[in-house]
Structures are given as C-alpha cells and as structure tokens.
Structure 1
Amino acid sequence: MMLKKIFILTLFLVSAFSQRSQRDFERELKAQNSAIQSLKDEIESTKKRIASENRKEKSSVRKMSNLSEEISLLQKLLNELGKEEKLLVTDITRLERKIGESENELEQLRILYAKRLSSMYKKGQISNLERVLSSTSWRQAVYRSKYLQIISKIDRETHDTIRSLLIEVGKQKLSLESALRKKRYLKREREQTLSQVRNKKKKEQRELSRIRKSKKELRNYLSEKQAGMNQLEVIIKKIREDIARLEREERIRKQQMALQSKEFPKLKGQLAWPAEGRVASKFGRQWNPKLKTTTENPGIDIKGKPGSEIKTVLGGVVTTITFIRGYGTTIIIDHGSGFYTVYSHVTNVETNVDSQVNSGDVIAYMGDSGSINGSQLHFEIWGEGKKLNPENWLRKR
C-alpha cells in the first residue's frame, strides 16, 4: 500500500520538475527567436541602406565592403539559426525520452490497477459496510473503516493519475510534432541563407578582382581602411568612457583572482598568439610598392589557413562584435587595467557581447571578411588609449 502511495507521489514530483524544465526551455527558445528576429530586421535595414548606396556609389571598394557587411550579417544569422536548431534537437530528444518514461509509468499503473481489479473479482465484491459489520471487535471495525477509506482514496488517485498521464502523453506527442516541424523549417531557412552567402561571396570575389587590378581602386581601399581605423578609434574611446567599464573591471579582477592569472600590463612578451600563421604585415608604417605610398598599420596581420581558430590571448569580457569597413567582422575584448585586444576579418563568431572569456578560448575563425588579401587575422592591442605593437606583447616564436 505504502509503495503505491510513494509511486504516485514520485510521479507528481517528476511531473512538477518536468514542467519547470519545460518553462526554462521555452524562455531560452523565446530569447533565441527574439535574437533571430532582431538579426533579420537588421539584415533588411542593411540591405535597404546598401541598395541606396549602390545606386549612387560606383566604386568596387564600396561595393565589396557592402557585400562583406551583408555576408557578415548572413553568417551571423546562420550561427543563430544553428543555435536554435541545437535547442530544438535537445528538446526533441527530451520529449522523446519523456514520452517513453510517461508511457512506461502509465503501463506500470495499469498493471497495478489491473491486479487490484482482478483481486476484487476473484475474492468477490462485498460492500464496505459488510466488511465493517463482519469485524469481530469494535477496535477491528475502526481499523477496517480507516483502511477502507485509504484503499478507496488510493484507487481514486490511481485512476486520476492514469487519466492525467494519458492527457500528458497526448500533449507531449503534440509538442514533439511541433518541434519536428520547426526543425524542418529551420533546416530550409539555413539552406536558403547559406545559398545567399555563396551568391554574395561570388559577387564579392568579382569586385575583389577589379580592386586588385586597379591602382585607383587600391587607393579607394586604403581610404576605406583609414575610415575603418577612425571608426575603431571612436569605438575604443566609447568603451573606455562607458559607465559599464567599472563593472567589467570588477568581473575581470574576480576572474584573475579565481584563475590566479596576472594582469595584462605584467604579461609583456608572454601572451599566446591569437592565431597560427605568419605575420604578413607588421605594426607601424608600411611601404606599398604598387602605389608607392606609406600607410599606417595599427596592428599586425597574420596570414593563415581559412577557417583556422582565432583564440583570446588573455581572459576578459567581450565588449563589441561589429562590422568595420576595411576590417570586416571585428571583436573587441576588455582585459582590464585599460587594455583591449581587437580581432578583425574573422568569421563564424563563437562568442557574444558581454560574455566572459578565458585565455585560449576560441572566439571565431579566420576569414576574409573585409580583406583584399585573402584569409587573415588583423590583430591589435590597445593600452591606456594607445595602439601598441602586438609583437612586443606576444611570445617569441
């Protein structure tokens, strides 16, 4: 008897926990849907602005930059769709498991109930009053009366639990069908987005080819990069003056204490490299033999394999993920003590704004976003508002 009561109570607790888990999942899925919709709105807004610019602007550099920006947003959408698909796969697995558990619980309850009915049939059904009146003593009559009340209550609870489980299994199967439909829709949407990325990549390559063949377009590209440098300086200035900087500093300080790591200023010449590859362009003034002009490089350019990992050089907080003309998709990380690192021309970003990262975390992959020189990482270090030579801070190799 006690086992039956424990079994029914366990079912109730499992059901309550399952409902809480489902609510948590629904909140997470809702937030993901909101992020995707926001990104779609941004893509539409960017497309309209670019279409307007392209009607006026004939420069291949500007066209390539616009295409790179669109590709960057579409790749971001692909990543978000991928995250939602993973959430749905997790939910589908959970629902399939839950349906199996519910059906198993239902079968056990049915067996218990069938045994009870079978016992009643074999022994013959006599009224509760007869059972009480057939007692040999007053005390036995009281005990039988209480016992019969408990039995009757358990029978009702078992019946109600079976009914509830049948309804719950039905709901779970409907949820599973809905999740499977959503997954199929997401797969189609991802394939369409991927197709758009490939088409725009082809157009980007055509514009890139024109730029490489034309001195005028190369000069335009350098102007575009200078505009990007100015844009980055404005972003860094805003980050340094941001009210949230103090809260980030505290988070970074706690992270350093937990990991027993040194502060950025004490790690000169000790930082790990952010990517594998050779330094194609060094920090500072660079001579361009084709244009016979000198340009300023605020960081270093590391030439590497397309799709190779981009890693953080030290722990910190991601402050910015944005598209910068001439530099493509760019990530900025605050390391505390007034030091920041910048990672540009990246693709398939693996982190989010305000995320806390550790040294060596993969935050993106090497791409050619906004670059005319193929896959590379543009890497910068800023300290107290000044651009620093990254090679002085990275380990010798």
Structure 2
Amino acid sequence: MVRNKVLSKFIAILVLCAVAFGCLLSAPSTQVQAASSYDDLVDEKKRLEEEKKKIDQALKEAQGKVDDQKAVQTQISYQIQNIQNQISVLSSQINTLEGQISQKNQEIEEMQARIDENYDLFKKRLRAMYMADDATVLSVLFGSSTFAEFLSAAETTQRVADHDDKLIKEMTAQKQQIEADKAEIEASKQQIEASKAEVMAKNQELNTALSQSQDTLDELKALEKKTQKDRDQIAADLEAADREIEEWLKQNQSTDTPLSPGGWLWPVSGHYRISDGYGWRDLYGKQQFHKGIDIPCGLNTPIRASKGGTVIRANTSSSYGNIVIIDHGGGYSTVYAHNNSLNVVYGQTVNQGDVIAYAGNTGDSYGVHCHFEVRVNGVVTNPLQYVVAAG
C-alpha cells in the first residue's frame, strides 16, 4: 500500500516535470515563430526592393530610348526642312528658266516673222525683175545719159540685191543664236528638274523615316507607360510591406512595466543641431509628416542607443535606408535611420549608450544625418518630449 502511494507520487512528479518541460519548450517556439514571421516580411520586402531596382533600370532604359527616338525625329525633321527649302529654291529656278524659255520662243517667233516678211519682199523684187523683159532692164541701164549714170544704176541694182541677201542672212543668224540660247536654257532646266526629282525622292524617303520613327516612338512610350505603372505598383507594394513590418513591430513590442519619460540619451554625441523637426513640413511643394527629428553629423559618426533594450529590427529599408529599431519595453521603441552601416543584429540586447550604428546617407535621404524617432505602442511621437539636445 505504501509502495503504491510512493509510486503514485513518483508518477505525479514525472507528469509535473513533463508539463513544466513542455512549457519551457513551448515558449521559445512562439518566439521562433514570431521571428520567422518577421524574417519572412523582411525577405519579401527585400524581394520587392530588388524587383523595384530592376523596374527602375528598365524604366530608365525606356526613358532613354524615348529620348533617343525624339532626338532622331528632331534630326529627321531638320533634314526635311532643309530638303523642302531646296525644293523651293529649285522650283523657283525652274520657274525663272521657264520664263526665259517663253521669252526666247517669243523672240524666235518675232525674228521668224521678220525673216519671212523680208524674204517675201525679196522674192517679190526678184519676181518683178524676172517678169520684166530684158528690154526694160536694158532701158534702165542704157537710158542713162552718161556712162557714170549707167554704172550708178547698175550698182544700185546690185546693192539692192546684196542688201536683201545680207539682211536675210543676218536675221537667220540671229534666229539661230536665239534658238541656241533657248536650247542652253532648256538643258539647264532639265538639269534642275533632275536635281529636283532627286530632292523630292529624298524628301519622300525622309517622310517615310519620320513616320516609322513615330511608330517606334509610340511603341516606346507605351512601354515607358507600362513600366511606370509597374514601378508605381511595386512602390505601393513596398509601402504595404513597410506597413506590415511596422504592424508586426507594433504587435510584438513588449508592454510590461511602464517606462517613465526621464533618462533618455541623445543618440548622436557632440551633434545637437536639428535640421528637420518633428511634424508637418513642406517637401518639394507637398505637405508631408516627418515622423522624427534629423540630426546632421559626419559620415560614420557613432549612433548610440537612447535607452537599453532589444533590437527588433536591423536591416535595410527603401525609405529609411539602413535602420535599427530598439524595443525598450513598456510600449516604447526608438528608431535610428539612414545609417551607413549597422553595429547590431536582430534580437541583440543593448545597453543605453551602446554604439548601434554609424551615420550615413542611405535610403530616402539628402545628406548624412541620423533620423531619430520615438514610438509609443507603435505610434510616433515627438522625440523632444524624451531627449534633450544637450548630451
């Protein structure tokens, strides 16, 4: 009986030990699961950031190609303008030559009319002389009272015949010269028309190239628009990932013993100027809420823990850059952003004043500084309610 009681007590002790051991095992399991969930969120954010880098590069390339194609269009348009100016000049030259040809045609017609008129008169005189009998001609010659008059009459008759012949020959030569001038002008016109035809063909070729360039530009703009849309989407996904991480941090911060506001350490020793304060601010013409204070300092200036606690985030953010978040208990946490490098890891316990990072200019930052936030139960509050810029 006693033996049974002893055995029963021994079994009960074993059961209690097993339960206790199970409890010891179950507690770390929850912590590992939580850490795993956080790591998954961070990994997903890293994946999104890598994807964003690729999309940013693709967008940059697309924008570059659009700019290049616009430059091509500008060059083609410039060439077309030059070609059109050449066409205008050549057309003007052709019009001038056509006017000269028309003038030469008129001169040829007038000269031919004069030749025909004089030739008709010449033929009439010859015919009259031919039709007249020899006695008439002889009477003219031998009717002279003196030999001198006879010679004068004969000379006059010959002079009339010579004049008619010379006049017709001169007019014929003038007509031939005019026709030669006209032929020369027509040859020049043909050359200019050939040049104009070449220029017109070049103009057509350039207009075709411009049309093809516009088609290419339209395709590139469509690609640019799609890539920009993809970038906007990935940026929205990154913001959502940031919110999920912040929500995880908010839910997993310890909330045991409340912490009094006193006893906080300024995070950047020797640097007490605030370049950008907490609250609403105008940034590039847009209102934006600044969640903390910015403390400018030199590159790799040590950044110290404002209070002791546990590191609940030590990684990279697209906006915060290299970031450290410390959970101080009681719902309080501090954020140290834009660091050049980190000196702590996730889950590490730190004491007040420990160097947790080195100042930098990473993430969405414009100059080396420490972006410092104080959060209460995950909600940002004015850091100057807790720290004093005097060390």
The TM-score by the shorter chain falls in which range?
Answer: 0.3 to 0.5
TM (norm. structure 2) is 0.39
Larger Rg: 2
TM (norm. structure 1) is 0.39
